[in-house]
Amino acid sequence: MFKTIYYYIDKFNKDEIDKLDKSINIIYRNYSKRFDTREILKLVNFCKKQRKKVFISNNLKLALKFNFDGVYIPSFNKTLNYKNISKKNFEIIGSAHNIKEILNKEKQGCTKIFLCPIFKTNKHKNFLGVTRFNLIKLVTKRDVISLGGINEKNVKRLKICSVKGLAGISWIKKNGPSINTGPF
C-alpha cells in the first residue's frame, strides 16, 4: 500500500468523501466557479471530523482563512510567495511536469512534488513513462508523488519508481473505499 494517497475533488460531496479510505487525503481543486465559503467550511469541517488532511488548490489566502491542512500549488503557478508561511502543521505541496518546474516547486517551499503525468491520460497524450519519471525525480530530495494515468493495469509499475504516494481522480473514484495495490 502507498504511504500517501491524494484524491482531487471539485465540489464537496459528503457521500463521496465518506466512502474513501480514511488515509486518503483530499485536494479541493476548483478552477471553474467562484468559491462558496459555506461549501468550503463544510468540506474542511467534514474532513477534520474524518481525520483526513484537506488541501485547497492555488489559494493560499483561503487555505489559511479556513484552516486547511495546506495548499496545493499547480504547475502553472510560478509565484514564490509561499515559502515563509509560519502556520504550524501547514503543508505546501505542488505539481510539476519537468525539471524546471520541480526546481520552482522547491523554491516555493513544497514538501511534496506531484510529478506528472507518469502514464498516458485522455488529457495528456505526452507522458513521462517510468524511465523518464525516475530520471527527473533524481533532481529533488523532496517526496515525489506520482500522478496521471494510474490505473489497475499500471499501478504495479510504480514499485520501480519508489514514489512516496500517488494522486488521482478516476481510478480512486472507480475503486471506492480502498485501493488494493498489493504490497508496497
The C-alpha atoms of residue 19 and residue 29 are separated, in whole angstroms, by 19
Closest CA to 118 of 103, 137, 105: 137
pLDDT, residue 98, reads 96
Phi, psi of 133 (to 5 degrees): -55, -50
The C-alpha atoms of residue 27 and residue 13 are separated, in whole angstroms, by 13
Sequence-ordered strand ranges (E) for the chain: 4-9, 24-28, 54-57, 70-73, 91-96, 112-115, 143-147, 165-168
Tens of pLDDT along 105-125?
A: 999 999 999 999 999 887 767
pLDDT, residue 131, reads 93
pLDDT, residue 177, reads 46
Alpha-carbon 174 to chain mean position: 17
- Domain 4-175, architecture per CATH: Alpha-Beta Barrel (3.20)
What is the CB neighbour count within 10 angstroms for residue 15?
6
- Cis before 183? omega within 30: no
Tens of pLDDT along 70-89?
A: 999 999 999 887 767 778 89
DSSP letter, residue 89: T
